[in-house]
């Protein structure tokens, strides 16, 4: 039971009527059909904070609370981390001489 749940945190409605759902537990799922049956699911690092479609909808982006951005292709429904950053406060920096 140590898995973070977090509920639904982001939704993306597609032109086809399909639905992409992001959760606070880092799950991104694709739901299809009139009864919205889950057909594909992936796990990303951190809770999903945003989902947005790219172009005509062949890909979409997902942002997470771990400061990562993923690109997901609809055909394979595979994630690729395309950007990452620190996700906590910066307390000190050092410049080399």
Mean pLDDT per 10-residue segment, the chain (97 residues): 73 89 95 85 95 86 95 92 87 87
What pLDDT shows up at residue 2?
Answer: 46
pTM: 0.82
What pLDDT shows up at residue 93?
Answer: 86
Of 51, 88, 44, 89, the closest CA to residue 68 belongs to 44
Residue 56 lies in a domain: yes
| Residue 76 domain boundaries | 8-84
Number of domains into which the chain is organized: 1
Give the CATH number for residue 26.
2.40.10.480
Angle 34-37-40 from CA coordinates, rounded to 5°: 130
DSSP helix/strand/coil, 10: strand
């Amino acid at each position: 039971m140590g898995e973070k749940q977090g509920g639904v945190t982001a939704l993306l409605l597609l032109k086809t009527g399909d639905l992409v759902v992001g959760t606070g537990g880092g799950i991104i799922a694709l739901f299809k059909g009139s009864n919205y049956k889950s057909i594909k699911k992936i796990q990303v690092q951190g809770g999903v904070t945003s989902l947005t479609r790219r172009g005509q909808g062949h890909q979409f982006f997902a942002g997470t609370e771990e400061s990562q951005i993923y690109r997901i292709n609809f055909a394979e429904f595979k994630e690729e981390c395309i950007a990452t950053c620190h996700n906590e406060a910066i307390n000190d920096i050092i410049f080399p001489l």
